[in-house]
Amino acid sequence: MKKTIAIIIVLVLSLGLLAACGDNNDRDGLYIAVLSKGFQHQFWQAVDAGAQAAGEHYGVEVFFDGPESEADIHVQVDMFNQQLALNPDGIALAALSTQAVLTQLQDAYDKGIPVVGFDSGVPEAPAGQIRATASTNNQNAAALGADHMFPVIRDKIEAATEADPVVIVVLSQDVTSESITGRTRGFAEKMHQLASGVNSSVAITGGYPAINTGDAGAAVRIEVVVGATSSSVDMATAASGALTLPGLIGFFCSNEGAANGVISAINAGSVVPAGVPIVGFDAGESQKAAVRSGIFMGGITQDPFQIGYQAVSLVVRAIRGETIGDVDTGAQWWDSTNMDNPDIALLLYD
């Protein structure tokens, strides 16, 4: 009996400790709940850091939480319920499933709690229930890749003729997802614009009919290559095919899957023609190694810190009654010269 009492006392004491570190009895300032899609990836840690920074800037309390895996829809629903119960002043949400939180969104709406989307936001939410979304504009971000690749291949583009054409490949894993199509379009159109400045015969061709400008005989072709499926095997096959295109002078991968396709192809024996810069979107472990070893020229990463920061500041502005609109949280160029800088390294999530 003595022991059981001892155990209970220990339990109660440990809870007491929790309360001490919980530090939550100040109810003066605003309280904002940020519910992410995950927690364990560096990406989300950076979103958290941004959200906390914004919280400090505005002097509001920010509580950040997310399920352990993106399959844990029910965990996020529970979190949403629990946060609603705390009567927060505002909520930022990256929904795993909009369908699963429809009731909660309606509740928040009825209670007058503003909800802001971030990262991929809350697609297909009922009109008016999401005040605004803070996320990466994929088109602008991919255009950044074209900006960086162009100076390297400018001379080759200028020298290209219809008799001796050059080709810049954009490798994409599908033609449906919003982020991939946005990036493909963003890079291809920006490169088209830049190349047109130094060569009169430029065309976009290949797997994205919507952006094709025709003319497969142009001196400079920006060729969109799409894998048969998004599986790593098919992406590697597509990459090894694209690497053998005659006149290849530049290579852009629109996501980590495409970049890994190129890396797998090289591992399997494909050869990158000398002096061809490869740029990848995202920043996985193997992509980082490829940049470090010089196989890749560099990459573009989303800015999760800004995603978190902007999400919280949107919520604060919504609470203050300001009119808010969607925010592009921007993207960063990274290569071997800056990838170890602390502020960039933070963004190179795995």
Partner 1 sequence: MLDFIKRMQLQKLLALGALIILYLFFAYFGRNFVSVPTTLSILSRSYFVGFLAIGVTFVIITGGIDLSIGTVMMCSALIGGLLFTVFGFPLWLCLIIMILVGTAFGTANGLLVTKLGLPPFIATLGMMMVSMGLGSILTNVRAQNFPTLLGENAWFVRLFLRTEGNIPTGAFFLAGYLILTFIILKMTKLGRYTYAIGSNEEAVRLSGVNASRWKMITYMISGTSAGIASIFFAAAYTVMTPGTGQGFELDAIAAAVIGGTSLSGGVGSVTGTIIGVFIMSTLAVGLVSIGLRAPYQVFFTGVVVIGAVFLDIQRTRRANRVKK
94 or 226, CB closer to partner 1?
Answer: 94
| 120 within 8 A of 135, measured Cβ to Cβ | yes
63 or 208, CB closer to partner 1?
Answer: 63
We find the least distance from the C-beta atom of residue 342 to partner 1, in angstroms, to be 25
What the block records as the tokens of 24 is: 């939550």
71 or 163, CB closer to partner 1?
Answer: 71
Task: Classify residue 93 as left (phi > 0), alpha (psi -120 to 50) or beta.
Answer: beta
We find the least distance from the C-beta atom of residue 109 to partner 1, in angstroms, to be 11
We find the least distance from the C-beta atom of residue 319 to partner 1, in angstroms, to be 17
We find the least distance from the C-beta atom of residue 2 to partner 1, in angstroms, to be 11
We find the least distance from the C-beta atom of residue 19 to partner 1, in angstroms, to be 5
Strand partners of residue 64: 34
Task: Extract the runs of DSSP E, i.e. beta strands, from 254-296.
Answer: 278-281
Q: If binding means CB under 8 A, how many residues of this protein chain bind partner 1?
A: 44
Q: Indicate which single residue of 41, 42, 49, 97 sits in contact with partner 1 (rule: CB under 8 A).
A: 97
Contact call for residue 49 and partner 1 (CB under 8 A): no
Contact call for residue 86 and partner 1 (CB under 8 A): yes
Contact call for residue 106 and partner 1 (CB under 8 A): yes
- Radius of gyration over alpha carbons of the chain, in Å? 24
| 249 within 8 A of 276, measured Cβ to Cβ | yes
Per-residue x/- track, 3-42, partner 1 (CB under 8 A): xx--xx--xx-xx--xx--xxxx-x---x-------x---
Part of the chain binding partner 1 (CB under 8 A), chosen from 83-91, 238-246, 306-314, 331-339 = 83-91
Strand partners of residue 29: none
Q: Which residue has the tokens 């001796």?
A: 164
Helix/strand/coil for 100: helix
176 or 323, CB closer to partner 1?
Answer: 176
Q: Indicate which single residue of 13, 29, 56, 78 sits in contact with partner 1 (rule: CB under 8 A).
A: 78
Please choose, from the candidates 198, 36, 2, the residue with its C-alpha nearest in 3D space to the C-alpha of residue 120.
36
What the block records as the tokens of 85 is: 């119960």
- Contacts of residue 130, defined as CB under 8 A and 6 or more positions apart, other chains included, come to 93, 105, 115, 116, 117, 121, 122
Contact call for residue 68 and partner 1 (CB under 8 A): yes
Helix/strand/coil for 92: strand
We find the least distance from the C-beta atom of residue 325 to partner 1, in angstroms, to be 26
* DSSP code for 320: T
Q: Indicate which single residue of 30, 32, 51, 79 sits in contact with partner 1 (rule: CB under 8 A).
A: 79
Q: Indicate which single residue of 59, 82, 123, 341 sits in contact with partner 1 (rule: CB under 8 A).
A: 82
CA distances from 223 to 39, 216, 265 (A): 37, 9, 18
CA distance 282 to 287: 8
23 or 343, CB closer to partner 1?
Answer: 23
**Which residues make up the interface to partner 1 (CB under 8 A)?**
3-4, 7-8, 11-12, 14-15, 18-19, 22-25, 27, 31, 39, 63-68, 71-75, 77-79, 81-87, 97, 99-100, 102-103, 106
